């Protein structure tokens, strides 16, 4: 496989008062319906927990961490619970104080397509000690993902490369459009040919049904759950299918469930779902922060500021790339081509974390010099960034590439059936959110010809009254799940409470000590934050030099970064080139 552009890799280097208590415990009030989701006739899985082999990431962890793993058997089709079955892979970090154990905390890292098993391997770094003392933390690979009967469309890496090698992440010209359209048509036809029965049964509603069976399998009367990114959609669907089974439910980095599934109007239904979400607006707001904080940091820290006004240099660089096409840029180990789409993708990838913004500025400054927009700045990418970039560029892709994303997202959502709609929507969204309108719109390109049919998907309503209030967490500058999504879910779910986190990046996971404390107290005691509570990120972009040194030697910080990499790995991304 040929290498990704180096600039994409650079950015991956380097992510309160309380009140209104509720009674802890796992019982669900009888006044609420216990099963609206269709699992009553399904057999509860028997979990035979044992050591985790290499396929589960092993059983080793930091001192005090004990892992175990199991398989759960669930129906392929909940309309035919006595028919075909699937196996769901689970990994458990056992409660460190079992005599004080409350129950099981289920976690999901999002995507869709992220591995909950891999995520659970780092649960010890993600939650306060009181949570780890009192809960078994369980991650599972959703149906069709990773170990759980994965949907795999490509039979080999060579086949993947034959289809997507050299294909841009999103098209700027009609010629590029034809290339992208042909690649996705071939890809989805391979999914139809190779996908198997799971192709029609990957909706979030089916995953929520699996989750309710898993809740019953571990013996909890009410679900305790924390979902991040797409994991918030799973949380929203569960809350509405099983409103009487909620003990404590956290959603962080929140998708608007209406936009994800159907939109709010007939016109919305004619748009790709990724155009409805507003992710491009969140990314555009993050770009504005990038320019502002770069200027404030000054030329000694931000290379773009050494070349002039950061926004002016960035805009001129992208305009030159669009006019001239890819240019050769040397990031330290030889020249390689960098395109307009590469810089947009690198920018978006950077904004998922408050770290690495300086490395993005350095990378863009080199591109600016290469296209003749500005002289080379003195500031250059850090050696740590360059080393990580080199290592990433040589990494082999996972056996499941993007199928987990489309398998779920296209099953859940209403979309046009012609990719011409993506072309039109990308142009329109770029006018609202320059650079990122096309990037986010084309993230769902496979849905136009997706062959799966999810008859049991859930498309609303989204206003169920849950047996316990939901905690909703939203960042003010999230480039993938804008703050507006958290506000929407808070309005929809009666009794839910919004925790606002002032910061930069996708989800608050590991970035705010304040938010971690609030979430931990809610999970253990079901205490919601006071209305209007705001937390802040621990670090500010371009001002993280000290914390970067600390993170390099801190095991917990390293665990958080590895867990966050799993969250980000499931997000839409450009095909490998």
Contacts of 117 (CB under 8 A, 6+ apart): 56, 57, 69, 89, 90, 91, 139, 140, 141, 146, 147
Q: Show which of 348, 374, 393 is a domain's final residue.
A: 393
Q: Around Cβ 30, how many Cβ atoms within 10 Å?
A: 9
pLDDT at 573: 47
> 3-state class of 518 per DSSP?
helix
Domain assignment present for residue 430? The answer is no
Q: Pairing mode, if any, of strands 135-140 and 85-93? A: antiparallel
Q: Examine the domain organization and report whether 460 and 339 are in the same domain.
A: no
DSSP at 148: B
Mean pLDDT of 543-566: 73
Count of domains in the chain?
2
Q: What is the pTM of this model?
A: 0.90
Q: Around Cβ 156, how many Cβ atoms within 10 Å?
A: 9
pLDDT tops 90 at residue 141: yes
Q: Show which of 393, 420, 443 is a domain's final residue.
A: 393
Torsions phi, psi for 549 (to 5 deg): -65, -40
Token pair 């929507």 is at which residue? 425
The model's confidence at residue 15, banded by pLDDT at 50, 70 and 90, is very low
Domain assignment present for residue 576? The answer is no
Q: Show which of 371, 393, 415 is a domain's final residue.
A: 393
Q: Around Cβ 328, how many Cβ atoms within 10 Å?
A: 10
* pLDDT more than 90, % of the chain: 79
Range with the lowest mean pLDDT among 4-18, 24-38, 308-322, 392-406?
Answer: 4-18
Q: Examine the domain organization and report whether 460 and 558 are in the same domain.
A: yes
Token pair 């669900």 is at which residue? 28
Domain assignment present for residue 443? The answer is no
CA-to-CA distance for 142 and 126, rounded, in angstroms? 20
Sheet strand arrangement including 103-108: 67-75, 85-93, 135-140, 103-108, 223-228, 246-252, 470-477, 497-504, 534-536
* Average pLDDT of the chain to the nearest whole number: 88
Highest mean pLDDT: which range of 34-38, 51-55, 216-220: 216-220
pLDDT single digits (tens) 225-253: 999 999 999 999 999 999 999 999 999 99
Domain assignment present for residue 442? The answer is no
Domain assignment present for residue 10? The answer is no
Q: Examine the domain organization and report whether 74 and 120 are in the same domain.
A: yes
Domain assignment present for residue 48? The answer is yes
Q: Examine the domain organization and report whether 288 and 255 are in the same domain.
A: no
The model's confidence at residue 298, banded by pLDDT at 50, 70 and 90, is very high
Quick check: 279 and 485 in contact, CB under 8 A? no
CA-to-CA distance for 366 and 363, rounded, in angstroms? 5
357-370 vs 340-350: helix axis angle to the nearest 10? Answer: 170
For residue 112, the enclosing domain spans 15-151+198-263+455-569
Token pair 């839409």 is at which residue? 572
Q: Examine the domain organization and report whether 244 and 345 are in the same domain.
A: no
Mean pLDDT of 355-370: 94
SS (H, E, C) 355-409: CCHHHHHHHHHHHHHHCCCCCCCCCCCCHHHHHHHHHHHCCCCCCCCCHHHHHHH
Q: Examine the domain organization and report whether 286 and 246 are in the same domain.
A: no
572 compared with 561, residue with greater pLDDT: 561
Q: Examine the domain organization and report whether 480 and 543 are in the same domain.
A: yes
End-to-end CA, the chain: 8
> 3-state class of 69 per DSSP?
strand
Q: Examine the domain organization and report whether 240 and 336 are in the same domain.
A: no
pLDDT tops 60 at residue 399: no
Q: Examine the domain organization and report whether 60 and 208 are in the same domain.
A: yes
CATH number at residue 471: 3.40.50.1820
Note if the bond before 112 is cis, omega within 30 degrees: yes
Q: Pairing mode, if any, of strands 470-477 and 497-504? A: parallel
> 3-state class of 311 per DSSP?
helix
332 compared with 196, residue with greater pLDDT: 196
Structure tokens at 353: 């974390």
Q: Examine the domain organization and report whether 104 and 238 are in the same domain.
A: yes
Range with the lowest mean pLDDT among 362-376, 427-441, 544-558?
Answer: 544-558
Structure tokens at 225: 């759950």
Q: Examine the domain organization and report whether 214 and 69 are in the same domain.
A: yes
Domain assignment present for residue 370? The answer is yes
Beta bridge partners of 330: 335
pLDDT single digits (tens) 383-397: 444 443 333 233 333
Q: Examine the domain organization and report whether 302 and 365 are in the same domain.
A: yes
CA-to-CA distance for 195 and 174, rounded, in angstroms? 30
Domain assignment present for residue 372? The answer is yes
Quick check: 333 and 391 in contact, CB under 8 A? no
pLDDT single digits (tens) 96-138: 999 999 999 999 999 999 999 999 999 999 999 999 999 999 9
């Amino acid at each position: 496989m040929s290498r990704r552009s180096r600039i994409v890799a650079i950015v991956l280097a380097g992510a309160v008062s309380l009140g209104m208590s509720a009674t802890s415990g796992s019982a669900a009030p009888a006044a609420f319906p216990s099963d609206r989701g269709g699992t009553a006739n399904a057999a509860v899985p028997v979990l035979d927990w044992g050591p985790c082999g290499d396929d589960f990431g092993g059983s080793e962890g930091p001192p005090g961490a004990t892992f175990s793993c199991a398989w759960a058997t669930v129906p392929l089709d909940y309309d035919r619970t006595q028919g075909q079955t699937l196996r769901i892979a689970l990994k458990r970090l056992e409660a460190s104080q079992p005599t004080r154990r409350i129950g099981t905390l289920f976690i999901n890292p999002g995507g869709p397509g992220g591995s909950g098993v891999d995520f659970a391997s780092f649960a010890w770094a993600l939650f306060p000690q009181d949570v780890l003392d009192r809960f078994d933390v369980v991650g599972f690979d959703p149906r069709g993902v990773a170990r759980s009967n994965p949907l795999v469309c490509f039979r080999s890496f060579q086949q993947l490369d034959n289809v997507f090698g050299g294909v841009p992440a999103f098209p700027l010209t009609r010629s590029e459009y034809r290339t992208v359209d042909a690649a996705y048509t071939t890809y989805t036809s391979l999914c139809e040919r190779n996908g198997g029965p799971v192709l029609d049964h990957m909706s979030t509603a089916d995953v929520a049904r699996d989750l309710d069976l898993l809740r019953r399998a571990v013996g909890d009367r009410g679900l305790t759950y924390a979902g991040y990114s797409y994991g918030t959609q799973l949380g929203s669907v569960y809350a509405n299918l099983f409103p009487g089974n909620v003990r404590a439910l956290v959603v962080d980095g929140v998708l608007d469930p209406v936009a994800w599934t159907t939109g709010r109007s007939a016109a919305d239904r004619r748009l790709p779902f990724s155009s409805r979400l507003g992710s491009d607006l969140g990314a555009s707001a993050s770009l504005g922060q990038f320019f502002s904080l770069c200027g404030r940091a000054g030329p000694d820290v931000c290379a773009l500021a050494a070349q002039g006004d950061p926004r002016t240099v960035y805009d001129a660089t992208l305009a030159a790339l669009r006019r001239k096409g890819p240019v050769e840029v040397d990031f330290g180990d030889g020249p390689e081509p960098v395109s307009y789409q590469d810089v947009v993708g690198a920018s978006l990838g950077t904004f998922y974390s408050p770290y690495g913004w300086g490395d993005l500025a350095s990378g863009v400054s080199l591109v600016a010099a290469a296209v003749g927009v500005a002289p080379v700045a003195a500031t250059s990418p850090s050696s740590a960034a360059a080393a990580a970039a080199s290592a990433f560029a040589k990494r082999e892709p996972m056996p499941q590439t993007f199928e987990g994303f489309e398998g779920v997202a296209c099953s859940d959502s209403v979309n046009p059936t012609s990719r011409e709609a993506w072309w039109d929507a990308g142009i329109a969204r770029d006018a609202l959110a320059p650079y990122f309108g096309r990037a986010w719109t084309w993230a769902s390109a496979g849905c136009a010809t997706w062959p799966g049919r999810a008859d049991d998907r859930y498309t609303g309503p989204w206003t169920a009254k849950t047996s316990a209030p939901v905690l909703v967490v939203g960042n003010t500058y999230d480039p993938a799940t804008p703050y507006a999504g958290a506000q929407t879910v808070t309005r929809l779910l009666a009794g839910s409470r919004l925790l606002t986190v002032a910061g930069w990046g996708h989800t608050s996971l590991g970035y705010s000590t304040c938010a971690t404390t609030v979430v931990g107290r809610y999970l253990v005691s079901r205490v919601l934050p006071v209305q209007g509570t705001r937390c802040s990120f621990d670090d500010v972009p371009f001002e993280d030099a000290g914390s970067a040194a600390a993170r390099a030697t801190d095991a917990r910080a390293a665990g958080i970064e590895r867990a966050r990499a799993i969250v980000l790995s499931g997000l839409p991304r450009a095909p490998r080139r």
